[in-house]
Amino acid sequence: MVDAARHPKVEVLAYSEVERVDGYIGNFRVDVTKKPRYVLEDRCNGCGECAQACPIEVPNGFELDIAPRKAIDVPHGQAVPLIYAIDMDNCIHCYKCVSACGKLDAIDFSQEPETLDLDVGSIVVATGFESFDPTVIPEYGYGVYPNVITAMELERLANSAGPTVGRLVRPSDGAAPKSVAMIQCVGSRDARYNEYCSGFCCMYTIKNALLLKQMNHDMDITIFYMDIRTPAKGYEEFYNRAREMGIRFVQGRPSQITEDPVTHNLYIEAEDQALGEVIELEAEVVSLSSAAIPRLDSEALASTLTLSRSPGGFYMEYHPKLRPVDSPTDGVFLAGAVQGPKDIPASVAQGSAAASRAARVLLSDSWEIEPIVARVWADRCVSAQGRKCGVCANACPYGAITVVQGQPAQITQAKCHGCGGCVAECPHDAISQDHFTDAQIVAQLQELLKDKPEEKILAFMCHWCSYGGADNAGTSHFEYPSTSRGIRVMCSARMDQDFILEAFRRGAGMVLVSGCHPQDCHYISGQQVAAKRFDRIPRALERMGINPERFRVEWISAAEGEKYARVITEMDDKLATLDKETLREETAKARPEIARRLKRWATVPGMAEMLEEEEVLA
Amino acid sequence: MIKSQRLDHGFVEEILAEPGGEHLLTCWSCGTCAATCLVRRYEPAFNPRLVLRRAGLGMREAVLSSAEVWQCSACDACYPRCPKQIHISDVMKAIRNIAIREGYERPGAAARVDTESCIACGLCAAACPYEAIHIEEVASKEVASNGTGKLAAQVDANLCMGCGICNSVCLSSSISVEGISDQVVSQDIAALRRQPARGALAIVCNWCLHATTDWDVAQNPPAGVRVVNVPCSGRVTPTFLTTALMQGYDAVLVVGCKTDECHYKHGNALEQGRAEVVGGLLDLLGLEPERVQFAWIGALDRGRFPALLDKLAADANALAPVHWGDTPGYRGEVPAYPSAATAPRGEG
């Protein structure tokens, strides 16, 4: 960090907030508010005389409030930059710091927040994680029993630079404990709080245990765990060393901790699974390895930067295997625990990767994007005619569309990822997507339904999930009936209601629309846009006299080949029970009404010849 | 040895299809339930984790023929702590339903009804936490006033958990569980009485003592205090409290589980209310209402039990002995506990 701060091309803006991000890859504009330190950065040399003079003591957040700090302070000894700041919420304006600073004259009570407007080419998000607060788990007594602490508190107490200069003490009486129990998976791997594995707790717990054991070989240390996870290089050896050092490992998740009200010693009850017996262990201190959780402000930053979040709340990467460092927004990269719980080596590796991904952008004069962007036909857009609309802008997960009344909707192509949600949502068919135009998709549809359509299942699949699922069914040799015909689009959001109606007008026996599971959508919220649209379709079909059972919506991931095969099989079974003559009657009855609805479509460039039958063009 | 050929995957499917059994396979055997479970204190072989493990492997015979699936009392202490949020007692119930269908029966004693003395008032059926009791027509010489056959309480042995709450509400002492009948408990109380019979009595539920040290205290209570154990505080009939006072105890304390932690769902709440009523009756008789007390111990309340007994001993010492002769309505003898034979008989 010190090296980075000294680098001539690196500027560190600590104690600052990102307020707003505009623009796109290579051309971001970032508004940053620099909070006032009330200390002049170019004069402060970090000597700390001011803090010594300051009479005000407040809880020290870095030491988890175990130790005090002054109202003028640095966050911690290794802080970069090493510049003091006054905490105005607690300062009493005694100005003792001013006299202590003396000739340096670095203290300036008149500082105001400063707004910076930065032009940047790429952005790396490395805002880290927070620690789960175990107070909410009543059976572990954190916050009730003084000697139940978190692993982070144990780390500070055992740290030679910490508040007790490395002497572990019991909070209840300040005595050195002779026995310590450590409990794993507190708030993680727990359906009540966080389902995910926090990843690095096993290793830091073993590290803490070894540290304590090395300081006092007679200390009795027990680690309660469900599974010890030491998958990286050298980790298993580290674990072995802990076992050899005499640290006791009990496989069993503690059900409760109780406290002796007199001694404040703690009793941990767990089932030792190896024995199948309940063990009651007395310990003087219990350390809870609490889960890493996303920062509480991660939702706000997600909307500032157009990021999406995975089920656990951490930021989602562009692709879990192939682009694990990129965010869904081009030019924004993820490093470290923002993307998921990570230990130091993995965070450093991802940080390095993010830096080089970011540098690629800075070194390029131009940037290649996927050629599947959306385009607006200005003459069809009602906004250009002065009417109020903006449906497309609402559907866009990337904020790539700007709608100003009186002008046609504007698409920033560098921000467009080509999901096609705006194309399908536009009520006036005024947007098209390159390589996935309505005409191209309808051409496929017509060809697939040319022969005996009532015996066919027309399946719309999104590129990232359900098409992968169908592919997986094929490569895994999961058999399914040959009656299905697939059309691939980029996202379920592209699956226009008109396509479904056109399929039924052409007499399709069954129609399937399939996409990613809600939390997996490649286009942040494309699936949600689609799901909302699909919810309305069965009733619309019913009103037109089409059996809504002929329409099905399924969310199928790329790994669910078995599900794809099953869904197609079920649909085929269903189709077999439907009388073909009835299907043809339904189609004949619904055709005029569908044709009426599709009339507007016929004016879309390239569509007229697709709909040449007179009922649409009449 | 467990041989894969003998594992029955159909059994797993059957449990998954049974209401309550859906989450069987999400268990990863962390042991939280086993460490929480209090049944293990009395039935060392009982381990909910192992029941789920065996069931998940498809060990049909071992699971269905074991006593374990019947021993879970659905107190649901484990459920809020389960990191996979498996409703374990529901899984047990699903397995029991399969066992019942296949002709297995609950081992151990269920509540029994003396149909001759039963007055079919229905209080037991209303009080039973497991809905194991119904009023039905039974074979008897007697005929009910409306001309039907005699009505009496009937117990579904497969649902009964043997808590004895039914016995505690029975007006005619006609329903009882072996080992904790009115006679047995009242004899236990009387047997502890030593002359001179001053001192205090604590009637303690089997499930609220969690720490080993609490059990040591129960075995060796402080001077002047005697301890009787019952399966549930809800088993304590109000008559136990009054007869204990009449037998010379200065104060009686009933100890049950904390609200929502009752091993038998709601026995503690029932008893807490009754103890308050008995205290009020003492007040009407001109006696100190604090002679009858109710207290609870939560699962996390290590050290609460010894403190409760110390307080009870101090309270009893502070109270003067009761001179029953001065009490209005006192007829001069300590009543023997009513048995089914002497209890008032219903008129049908």
pLDDT at B149: 77
Best of B28, B46, B81 to substitute, by most chain A Cβ atoms within 10 angstroms, is B81
What mean pLDDT comes out for the span A332-350?
Answer: 96
- What are the tens digits of pLDDT across the range A217-254? 999 999 999 999 999 999 999 999 999 999 999 999 99
**Beta-carbon separation of B299 and A256 below 8 A:** yes
Q: For residue B331, tell me if it sits in a domain.
A: no
The total number of structural domains in chain B stands at 3
Q: Are residues B25 and B121 in the same domain?
A: no
Q: Are residues B79 and B132 in the same domain?
A: no
Q: For residue B348, tell me if it sits in a domain.
A: no
For residue A486, give every residue at least 6 positions away whose Cβ sits within 8 Å of its Cβ, in sequence order, or none.
A459, A460, A461, A467, A470
pLDDT at A565: 97
What mean pLDDT comes out for the span A475-480?
Answer: 95
Q: Give the minimum alpha-carbon distance from B78 to chain A in angstroms, rounded to a whole number.
A: 8
Weakest-pLDDT range from A138-147, B183-192, B237-246: B183-192
- What are the tens digits of pLDDT across the range B283-296? 988 889 999 999 99
CATH of the domain at B293: 3.40.50
What is the rounded distance in angstroms from the CA atom of residue A124 to the CA atom of residue B102?
63
Q: Give the minimum alpha-carbon distance from A58 to chain B in angstroms, rounded to a whole number.
A: 34
- What are the tens digits of pLDDT across the range B174-188? 999 988 999 898 888
Structure tokens at B243: 């007869």
Q: Give the minimum alpha-carbon distance from A186 to chain B in angstroms, rounded to a whole number.
A: 10
Q: For residue B340, tell me if it sits in a domain.
A: no
pLDDT at A47 over 60: yes
- Domains in chain A: boundaries: 130-293, 370-434, 438-617
- Domain containing B43 equals 4-101
What mean pLDDT comes out for the span B56-78?
Answer: 91
pLDDT at B343: 45
Q: Closest chain A residue to B212 measured between Cα atoms?
A: A280
pLDDT at A191: 95
What mean pLDDT comes out for the span A513-538?
Answer: 93
Identify which has the larger pLDDT, B339 or A577: A577
Of A570, A439, A413, A433, nearest in space to A499 by CA? A439
Name the domain boundary from B59, B74, B101: B101
CB A398 within 8 A of CB A524: yes
Given B36, B47, B211, which is nearest A255 (Cβ)?
A: B36
Q: Closest chain B residue to A266 measured between Cα atoms?
A: B302
CATH of the domain at B58: 1.10.1060.10
Best of A192, A226, A249, A255 to substitute, by most chain B Cβ atoms within 10 angstroms, is A255
**Beta-carbon separation of A255 and B78 below 8 A:** yes
Q: Are residues B320 and B183 in the same domain?
A: yes
pLDDT at B337: 56
pLDDT at B136 over 50: yes
Q: Are residues B93 and B131 in the same domain?
A: no
Given the candidates 3.40.50.12140, 3.30.70.20, 3.30.2320.50, 1.10.260.30, the CATH classification of the domain at A370-434 is 3.30.70.20
CB A72 within 8 A of CB A86: yes
Q: Are residues B200 and B159 in the same domain?
A: no
Provide the pLDDT confidence category of residue A287 given band limits of 50, 70 and 90: very high
Query: Which whole-number Å values give the CA distances from B9 to B15, B26, B59, B62, B91, in the listed order?
Result: 10, 16, 9, 14, 16
pLDDT at B259: 85
In the three-class reduction of DSSP (H, G, I as helix; E, B as strand; rest coil), residue A32 is classed as: strand
Q: Give the minimum alpha-carbon distance from A169 to chain B in angstroms, rounded to a whole number.
A: 23
What is the rounded distance in angstroms from the CA atom of residue A567 to the CA atom of residue A545?
24
**Beta-carbon separation of A269 and B35 below 8 A:** yes
- What are the tens digits of pLDDT across the range A454-465? 999 999 999 999
Name the domain boundary from B177, B201, B222: B177
Q: Are residues B172 and B220 in the same domain?
A: no
Whether ipTM > 0.85 holds is: no
What mean pLDDT comes out for the span A518-544?
Answer: 93
Q: What percent of chain A has pLDDT above 90?
A: 91
Q: For residue B42, tell me if it sits in a domain.
A: yes
What mean pLDDT comes out for the span B61-81?
Answer: 91
Structure tokens at B324: 């029953």
Best of A188, A271, A272 to substitute, by most chain B Cβ atoms within 10 angstroms, is A271
Identify which has the larger pLDDT, A61 or B209: A61
Name the domain boundary from B101, B120, B154: B101
Query: Which whole-number Å values give the CA distances from A200 to A178, A294, A548, B30, in the listed order?
Result: 26, 15, 50, 19
Q: Are residues B14 and B88 in the same domain?
A: yes
Given A141, A226, A253, which is nearest B300 (Cβ)?
A: A141
Q: Closest chain B residue to A225 measured between Cα atoms?
A: B30
In the three-class reduction of DSSP (H, G, I as helix; E, B as strand; rest coil), residue A213 is classed as: helix
Q: Are residues B93 and B190 in the same domain?
A: no
pLDDT at A15 over 80: yes
Q: Are residues B154 and B239 in the same domain?
A: no
pLDDT at A605: 86
pLDDT at B341: 47
With a CB-CB cutoff of 8 Å, which residues 179-218 of chain A face chain B?
A: 185, 189-192
Q: Are residues B246 and B149 in the same domain?
A: no
Given B28, B83, B300, which is nearest A256 (Cβ)?
A: B300
Given the candidates 3.60.20.10, 3.50.50.60, 3.30.950.10, 3.30.420.40, the CATH classification of the domain at A130-293 is 3.50.50.60
Q: For residue B256, how far is the Cα from the chain centroid?
A: 10
With a CB-CB cutoff of 8 Å, which residues 146-185 of chain A face chain B?
A: 185
Weakest-pLDDT range from A34-38, A112-116, A372-376, B115-119: B115-119
- What are the tens digits of pLDDT across the range A78-111? 899 999 999 999 999 999 999 999 999 999 999 9
Mean pLDDT score across all residues of chain A: 94
From chain B, the residues in CB contact with A183 under 8 A are none
